[in-house]
Amino acid sequence: MTDENTTHFGYKNVRTDEKQGRVSQVFDSVASRYDLMNDLMSMGIHRLWKRFAVELAGIKRGQKVLDLASGTGDLAARFAGLVGPDGLVVMTDINAAMLDEGRKRMADEGLVGNVEYTQVNAENIPFPDNSFDCITIAFGLRNVTDKQKALSEMHRVLKPGGRVLVLEFSHPNGEPLKQIYDIYSFKLLPMMGRLVANDEDSYRYLAESIRMHPDQETLKGMMEQAGLERCDYHNMTGGIVAAHRGFKL
């Protein structure tokens, strides 16, 4: 149980003002192996999840996109190609090590000119109201301390007619899949973290943070509470991942 002064860090209750630092330690630890572990953990399926999310985002040439919790830039790289030279992608992460990895990757791929980099806490987005045509956050919302505040901030900086897209691990459909997923998450995932990234604890936190994240309907309700309209979600891989979408009308 949590109160206004505490929050979840995986299955642990911690002081609200401690969570950001703890999450930063996790991503400082895994940054250099982040892409490799994503491929191993999902058996490459994360690329299909992200491709579908990009389609839902509906990005057009010349638009301005804010990608929160960009990590190493999987979505931002796709958006940079879609908005073209007249558009802009603002690639952000709260964690400096992750943002640096993303910047290196974008430079290696020659994606310069229409991409900017900013260290951003999603709870306090440092941009004016009505600034972006699309705002995305992929596999990052569950690590945010105050998710409702972050969603309200996304709504604030979104232009009328724009959309917010949240791609996140969610809750599997059906008991057999849940049981298999639990075995994978709490047995195999930490073991892979230990063998590949030399960091079992961070990947145990990953599994726990997924379980503590709001389910599909709850997150949809939170987006509506933030002021977004026509909210919907699309389950992928049996609900293991869901793409939520909402509009500012």
CATH number at residue 74: 3.40.50.150
67-88 burial: b if 16+ Cβ within 10 Å, else e: bbbbbbbbbbbbbbebbeeebb
Q: What is the number of domains present in the chain?
A: 1
Residue 147 lies in a domain: yes
56 in any annotated domain: yes
Is 195 inside a domain boundary? no
pLDDT for residue 26: 73
Residue 153 domain-assigned? yes
* Side-chain-side CA neighbours of residue 85 (13 Å): 1
Tell me the whole-structure pTM to 2 decimals: 0.90
Model confidence at 235, pLDDT cuts 50, 70, 90, reads very high
What is the domain extent for residue 242? 27-173+204-247
Query: pLDDT tens-digit profile of 206-218?
Result: 889 999 999 999 9
User: Does 167 reside within a domain?
Assistant: yes
Annotated binding site for S-adenosyl-L-methionine: 72, 93, 121-122
pLDDT grade for 63, boundaries at 50, 70 and 90: very high
Instruction: Classify residue 39: in a domain, yes or no.
Output: yes
Residue stretches of the annotated binding site: 72, 93, 121-122
Measured in Å, how far apart are the chain's first and last C-alpha atoms?
A: 36
Q: Is residue 50 part of a domain?
A: yes
- Band of pLDDT at residue 47, cut at 50, 70 and 90: very high
Residue 12: its pLDDT value, please? 84
Task: Look at residue 1 and tell me if it is in a domain.
Answer: no
Percent over 90 (pLDDT), the chain: 67
